[in-house]
Chains A and B, each alone.
Chain A
Amino acid sequence: MLRTRRSEILTAFVLLAPFIVIYGLLFVWPTIQMVMLTFTKAPLIGAGDWVGLKNYERLWGDRLFWTATWNTLYFVLLTVIPSTLLGLLIALGVNRLKGWAQSLVLAAFFIPYILPVSVVYRMWGWMLDSEFGILQHPIAAVWGENVPIFRTIPLFIPAVAFITVWWLIGFNILLFIAGLRNISSEIYEAAELDGATRWQTFRRITWPLIWPITVLVATIQLILQLKIFDQIYLFAQGGRVDATLSLVGLIYRSAFQKNQGGYGATVALVLFMLIVVISVLQFQLLRARGQR
């Protein structure tokens, strides 16, 4: 008996070893290295002098860090919740369609998701160009003159958030549709027989049964958008980049542009902690609600 146990442990270890080695080598070790880096004044490459907590002190007093944190959280707020709710809403609508009409509408919503970010940037950049943009006609009709959207600070994050939702929502819709199709039609039939109204059907059947997918979508979006970099970087290029900086943008700028690897690592570590805390918190919160 004991013998089998021991050999089982051995087998388990042998089977787990490749994963542990690779995980340790490619994730745990670099992470430890990065934490060590935050205590040094290292350049982008190579080691640096030990400076203790200096980088953290600097971070605390860095106006840019707070701007970047605020911008990132503001962006998350403007993308995660709208793209989750809107995704569900569109999925509910698409789900009511039948046959080719459904495929067509679904494709229409999904196509933007396939585009690379650079194409998205070019398209919207031109559509909203302050001189020649086609969308400037309606804007001028309402506002009285052309508005340089990406050079007007209060409009910048909302505009990029809107474009991001437009761009990425197709994926959310797809997840929701998969979830909706998983709900057995028998439940709906039973509800209909019992005389449930449409709202009651949604409130009592669809919403609770789709909840796990909602949590999944919101969590995926949250982690993705906390790491926001590319759209903001592209649209802000050359402009007032300080006022529109995101946290990953600050990492990029410190480490790659200014050759301050130690400080870049410090910002990266703080962002890492932020993502861990927020996503665990959100997951727990949403799950607790669902289990009610």
Chain B
Amino acid sequence: MFARAFFAALMSSAFMVSAAQAQEVIEWWDFLGGGDGVRMKELINRFNEEHQGQIQIEATTLEWGTPFYTKVQTSAAVGEGPDVMTYHLSRLPLGVETGTLSPITEEDLANAGLATSDYQPANIDAASVDGQLYAVPFDIHSIVLYYNKDALQKAGLLGEDGLPTGLDGADNFAAALKKLQEAGYQQPLSIHDAAGDSMWRIFYSLLNQQDGKFLDDNGEFLSGDNLDKAVAATSLMASWVADGYAPPNTEYAASIARFTGGEAALHINGVWEVPTMTDLATKGELFDWGAIQLPTFFDHPATWADSHAFAIPNNQGNEMTPEHRKAVMEVIGWMAKNSTFWGSAGHLPAYNPAREDPEFQAMQPNATYASLAETAAFDPRSPLAGVASPVYDAAGNYLMPAVNGELEPQDAMEQMRDDLQGQAY
């Protein structure tokens, strides 16, 4: 009995091998755990079903962050990397510097059925180094302002269209927080101010709302009046804590819990928490909520953004055949054209037509904050910047203590500038 089952299993695996030889097998690595990962697996399964006998994706999910990028770099150097992988655009400069990424040519894009004009120009810039494209953007993810509708209603901050009103401008925002406080929300704003990364995202948005440059074209950090703008951004964030609107040193999970638990009426966090809210609401455990683009505190709208993108590793000594590369590009193209579904993970599809799709237009709250794609501010283009980079560390060392009132904003920004400048050698 057992031997028979074993034999059958052997036969079927032998059959699968021979079937696999007739088609291109694409080895795929991603770092998408959690809610994103579930949705990505669904997309991959759909792709594999539609391309049976032609192209099959074999996906592996790895640890997010520095471990992923280290593995990619080491494996590409010995020719053992995957055929395609997910990549943060903010991390691209380091990937190019270390020779990990293979350039994406015009021909590649054509094979994918894509063109650079299908994307926001800022997004294409972020995917390029020295004018050469190295990745194909898949989504744009950013931070948004989550709000409790009931609370805003009580404080008279909900417009007739059901969206928050009177939040634009630093003073108006503070006044709104005051109103919420009077409506019974003691600390109405929830921000993740116990870590540099979340603080960086808000800070970089505020800096860009003033047209401030964190890193100028000469490779100098916070040069000239950019320092003043950075200090203004930091001071504004620090005032929320100092005036008692937000508690200091709140950890990530606690910052979400303060909002979902009804303690805070406003919450600034990444779009990736949209599934959390949606799931809670479906279970009937959340109040009426929504999410909008970050208010304009300074001169004009701008929001920090990053992209998950697809890149091809530069597998040294193990270059792929043109046919294989074509198949890889077909995968990338298919993913872009089917990325509307990816919106349910909270992200905005990078591919313009996917955002214009009626299905996406009906997707809430994504459609409400989709406008942020037009004013997205991507991280500085430097090997020192991006996810899990020295800039993020510096945000933890200087920006975060300044927001929590442990450092003066002016001193903090000067120290941050000097520290980063010292690391650029």
Contacts and interface: CB of A to CB of B under 8 A. Distances in A.
A92 B297 CA distance: 64
A125 B251 contact: yes
A43 B400 contact: no
A132 B254 contact: yes
| Chain B interface size range | 35 or more
Interface stretch (B66-74, B132-140, B202-210): B66-74
A238 B247 contact: no
Interface in A212-255: 237-243, 253
Contacts of B197: 238
A44 B94 CA distance: 12
B49 interface: no
Given A240-B400, A243-B397, A256-B70, A131 B195 contact: no
Q: How would you classify the secondary structure of chain A's contact residues: helix, strand, loop or mixed?
A: loop
B218 interface: no
A69 interface: no
A253 B389 CA distance: 9
B257 A257 contact: no
Given A43-B98, A238-B195, A131 B247 contact: yes
Interface in B56-86: 66, 70, 73-74, 77
Contact of A130 (B98, B249, B401): B249
A82 interface: no
B397 A259 contact: no
B73 A151 contact: no
A23 B419 CA distance: 42
B314 interface: no
Contact of B194 (A148, A241, A243, A257): A148
A132 B261 CA distance: 12
Interface string A140-159: 00000000100100000000
Given A130-B251, A242-B393, A237 B195 contact: yes
Interface residues of A, number: 23
B196 interface: yes
A237 B66 CA distance: 13
A45 B251 contact: no
Given A130-B194, A259-B97, A240 B250 contact: no
B254 A240 contact: no
A240 B397 contact: yes
Contact of B383 (A239, A253, A256, A259): A259
A239 B194 CA distance: 6
A148 B248 contact: yes
A131 B251 contact: yes
A131 B393 CA distance: 23
A130 B419 CA distance: 29
A132 B196 CA distance: 21
A241 B396 contact: yes
Contacts of B196: 238-239
Contacts of B18: none
Closest CB pairs A-B (n = 3):
A238-B195, A148-B249, A131-B254
Interface of A: 43-46, 125, 129-132, 148, 151, 237-243, 253, 256-259
Interface of B: 66, 70, 73-74, 77, 94, 97-98, 194-198, 247-251, 253-254, 257-258, 383-384, 388-390, 393, 396-397, 400-401, 404, 419, 423
Given A258-B390, A259-B383, 18 more contacts: A46-B77, A129-B251, A129-B254, A130-B248, A131-B247, A238-B197, A239-B194, A239-B195, A240-B400, A240-B401, A241-B393, A241-B396, A243-B397, A257-B389, A257-B393, A258-B423, A259-B94, A259-B97
